Structure 1
Amino acid sequence: MMSKTSFTKYFLIAFTLMFISSGLSAGTFGSDGKKKGKEKKEELSADGPYVLYQPDGKTRVISVDKKGKIIDTTYVVLPEDFILHVVDHKGQFPFDVRLHPVKRPDWKYRQPEKVFVMSDPHGKLDCVISLLQGNGIIDKNYKWSFGNNHLMVIGDIFDRGKDVPQIFWLFYKLEDEATKAGGTVSFLLGNHEPLVLANDLRYTKDKYKVLAQKLNMNYPELFGPDTELGKWLGTRNTMQIIGRDLYVHAGLGKNFYDRNLSIPTVNEEMSKALFMNKKERRALSPLTAFLYGNDGPIWYRGLVRTDAKYHPMAQDSLQMVMERYKVKHIIVGHTIFKDISTFYDGKVIGVNVDNKENQKKKRGRALLIDKNTYFVVGDKGILQKL
């Protein structure tokens, strides 16, 4: 016969199992013990346009309006006056884009009177426009107003935000407008461009995955080599020099220096593997595997981090890198800081900040180089000398 103690024990076990089962069937429980329902999948919002060139010579243009409706049009031939209409995910900040020929920018540029440097916009068009307008880079109609000067964007438009293609289109448009005015717009590859193009979507907003699913496509196909933005991305540099400043998304370490690579070689090799997956990149060549690895230019943090795992750069090694490329500064994004920051006695400058937080707290958000003087700027112009 079962004892009273045993009966109580079995009763408690059965009750506990029943409680867990009912909790699992009804939903999950938060840290406060309250039941949570299933997470709502993110809905579509204004997006695109995406311009895809078909094997039969036709052009497919896909966009999503602010009500979440997909507009999918195929043209036998694009009209001569074809214009793309772009708005942010809420239907704001409207601007038009005309397609133009794309080619790889130079890897080295003269120092103009002014260079405006920003990085890691990560899908937040409102932050980009606020910064560019507040510093006279674009006007109230989102058109280039920086004359014959240079705008440098050090990578990472993909992921985290809801206006990814819109920001690509803005810089694509400004590149053409700047060229006509004698100026330059440069966008360098970051680490998130290769991540997304390799279908690594861990940081990608659900709205993009939902759109791809509805189109019966993989998300990277919307930016593939047979698309307009893909053609543009496929010709972007990874490293670039303006005057005596070298720009790269993450950094350059001793392992990079030991390979004795020219900047054009790095740019070409990175582009060769941009639309490959991780396995294909590793298999392409040892050089490609290195460039896309942790010690490569789009991932290496050792210029701004001292933890051993980042293989921090020794002062003399940094000097050797700078002498090889004949520069006085290396300017990077990638690693987030509370404000524009300097390292190695000012030789390395980190310009990646938390865009929303810095905008709210009126902290530094970009770097302005004006006649060889370096300034920290916010959304309303110069804040202080660096």
Structure 2
Amino acid sequence: MPAPERIVAIGDLHGDFEAARKAFRLAGATDAKDEWIGGKLVVVQTGDEIDRGDDDRKILDWVEKLKGDAEKAGGAVVALVGNHEIMNVQFDFRYVTDGAFTSFDGSQAPNPQVSTALAGMEARSRSRAYAFAPGGAYATMLSRRPVVAQVGGTVFVHGGVLPKHVALGLDKINENAKQWLLGKDPTPPRALVSEDGPLWTRMYSAAPGREECAMLGETLKSLDAKRMVMGHTVQRGGISQACEGKAWRIDVGMSRFFGGSVEVLEIKGDTVNVLKGS
């Protein structure tokens, strides 16, 4: 989408609704009642809303509601998929807490298409599995969320975009992910599960050197973009930049699991600011 007057990016939330509330309020997006007040503001959440905390279903539902409310007000909430969302669609529940399992109990109707695959699964996992199975209610919700989004001159992604992803086609990556999440393709696209895919790479979010920064520069040039904003790798010192401001790493581990502070990234034209919670 074209650049709005103001964008705020929010990193990994990992099942902590209180941290999510604080982040959206810090962004100026919501009020004390958790209702949209952002007007034409564009909020981008870079994935990993789920796992590690008990509130992941609550966060997913709330962000989905905010998407509709923001649109009515002339703004937008762009929620991306992260690697943890995809892990759940693949029934990889190793980071799911007891409370997050319980929140799905009895709420999802069995899906005959996946019942065989779930036959050996422990009972407490099945409701969540029905919800996240391709074509299930929450996988369908995720199908409406892109892997990569570009807003004005900023590219947003959970892990990172490499030149080969641009060559493959970002629209193609988004569409292939959508078709799999809807249950229309039998296997996940390689880009979603590869170690160097857009959801998993730490090329720019760990400790990029000259070679990695050159690769980022090439990627941004091909997309006519100025910067890339990503989550995925916890920045213990808070939101940080690399590659002369071309990479912004916004996963600050704000969930209870990691114990970080709440910070968000504000972009207004060519000005980038870090907003810190109290």
Aligned to 1:205: 97
Change (3 A) 1:199 1:150: same
Which residue of structure 2 aligns with residue 256 of structure 1? 165
2:52–2:257 contact (8 Å) kept in structure 1: no
Q: Structure 1 residues 378, 291: CA separation in 2 closer, same or farther (over 3 Å shift)? A: same
How do 1:274-293 and structure 2 match up within 5 A?
Answer: 274=181, 280-281=187-188, 288-293=189-194
Corresponding residue for residue 240 of structure 1: 149
With the length of structure 1 as denominator, give the TM-score of the two structures. 0.61
Residue pair 1:303, 1:313 contacting (<8 A) in 2 also: no
For the 8 Å contact 1:368–1:376, the answer to whether it is kept is yes
Sequence identity of aligned pairs in percent?
A: 25
The match for 1:345 among 239, 244, 249 is: 244
Matches within 5 A, 1:1-80: none
Question: Does the C-alpha gap of structure 1 residues 154 and 313 become closer, same or farther in structure 2, counting only changes over 3 Å?
Answer: farther
Unaligned runs of 5+ in 1: 1-108, 282-287, 381-386
Pairwise CA RMSD = 2.7
Residue deviations 1:83-129, cap 9 Å, x none? xxxxxxxxxxxxxxxxxxxxxxxxxx111111110111111000111
Task: Choose from 149, 154, 160 the match for 2:41.
Answer: 149
Q: 2-side partners of 1:247 and 1:376: how far apart? A: 16
TM-score under structure 2 length normalisation: 0.83
Give the 3-state SS of the residue equivalent to 1:166 in structure 2.
Answer: helix
Alignment of 1:330-369 (within 5 A): 330-338=228-236, 339-356=238-255, 363=261, 365-369=263-267
Count residues with an aligned counterpart: 258
Alpha-carbon displacement from aligned partner over 1:56-104 (angstroms, at most 9, x marks no partner): xxxxxxxxxxxxxxxxxxxxxxxxxxxxxxxxxxxxxxxxxxxxxxxxx
Call closer, same or farther: CA 1:307–1:125 in 2, change over 3 Å: same
Alignment of 1:72-151 (within 5 A): 109-151=1-43
Q: Report the structure number with the largest CA radius of gyration.
A: 1
2:199 is matched with: 298
Residue 371 of structure 1: how far off its partner (Å): 3.8
Which whole-Å CA distance do the structure 1 matches of 2:222 and 2:197 have between them?
Answer: 17
Larger strand share, 1 or 2: 1
Q: Structure 1 residues 206 and 171 mapped into 2: Cα distance closer, same or farther (>3 Å)?
A: same
Q: 2 CA distance for matches of 1:304 and 1:126?
A: 25
Q: Which residue of 1 aligns with 2:113?
A: none
Unaligned runs of 5+ in 2: 107-121
Quote the offset at 1:217 in angstroms. 2.5
Kindly indicate whether the alpha-carbon contact (under 8 Å) linking 2:51 and 2:95 is maintained by their aligned counterparts in 1: yes
Partner of 1:383: none
Greater relative contact order: 1 or 2 (C-alpha under 8 angstroms, separation 6 or more)?
2
Which residue of 1 is the match for residue 119 of structure 2?
none
